[in-house]
Amino acid sequence: MAGPPAARWFHRPLPRPGARLRLVCLPYAGGGAAVFRTWPAALPDDVEVVAVRLPGRENRTAEPPYTRWPPLVADLAEALAEAVPAPYVLFGHSLGGMLGYELAVREPALPPERLVLAGCRAPDIPLQVPAVHDLPDPAFHAGLRHLAGTPEEVLRNPALLALLTPMLRADLRLAETWPAGGARPVPVPLTTFDGADDPMAPPATVAAWRRHAPHGIRAHHLPGGHHFPRDRAGAFLRLLSKELAEGGTAACDPCTSPTHMSRSVPRSAPS
Dihedral-angle region of residue 261 (phi above 0 means left; psi in -120 to 50 means alpha; beta otherwise)? left
Residues 6+ apart with CB under 8 A from 225: 148, 195, 197, 198, 199, 231
Mind telling me the catalytic residues? 94
Domains of the chain: 7-129+182-265 (3.40.50.1820)
> What is the distance between the alpha carbons of residues 100 and 145, in angstroms, rounded to a whole number?
26
Q: Summarize the chain as % helix, strand, coil (round to 5).
A: 40, 15, 45
- Least Cα distance to 112 among 100, 123, 120, 121 occurs for 100
pLDDT tens for each residue of the chain, 271 residues long:
444 589 899 999 999 999 999 999 999 999 999 999 999 999 999 999 999 999 999 999 999 999 999 999 999 999 999 999 999 999 999 999 999 999 999 989 999 999 999 999 999 999 998 888 989 988 888 888 877 667 788 888 889 888 899 999 999 999 999 997 789 999 999 999 999 999 999 999 999 999 999 999 999 999 999 999 999 999 999 999 999 997 566 545 433 333 344 443 333 333 2
> Do the Cβ atoms of 155 and 144 come closer than 8 Å?
yes
